[in-house]
Amino acid sequence: MKRCWFGAFLLAALLAGSLAVTWGMDGVHRPIAQELGRAAASAQAGDWRRAGAEFQQAQAGWEKFAHFRACFADHTPMEAVDEELAAAGCAASLEQWPDFAAACARAAKMVAAVGDSHRLTWWNLL
């Protein structure tokens, strides 16, 4: 009987851990995607300071949780987002604001897609 309880406890602990990671991934990616979207919109509107500030905030958030993502997510989409963030940073430093806005918009969609792929759904639980 003790083995049955140990198995049930282990199963519950694994389920709780997977739920926590799923909620954590969604909570990490949603604000970053929103900040990148606001940076792209601000750049398109001509508000360069705000666009740069939003981009810096999004990039800091992306780098802050790099280890967390590296443990639980596929690395290929992460590398694509890193490339888009680097392209946006390069465009901002060269003051190529249309390219900056496009790179931020692409990165926002990629980050949102990563968050969607880790969102809590019944098929992700299985």
Distance from C-alpha of 72 to C-alpha of 15, rounded to nearest angstrom: 15
Q: Are 88 and 55 a contacting pair, CB within 8 Å?
A: yes
Residues 104-119, mean pLDDT to the nearest whole number? 87
Residue 26's pLDDT is 77
Take residue 97 and report the two structure tokens written for it.
């604001």
Q: Which domain holds residue 45?
A: 2-125
Q: Structure pTM?
A: 0.80
For 48-96, the pLDDT digits (tens) are: 899 999 999 999 998 988 887 777 777 778 889 999 999 999 999 998 9
Averaged pLDDT for residues 106-114: 91
Cα distance between residue 125 and residue 78, in whole Å: 22
- What pLDDT band is residue 21 in, cutting at 50, 70 and 90? confident
Domain total in the chain: 1
Answer yes or no: are the C-beta atoms of 3 and 92 closer than 8 Å: no
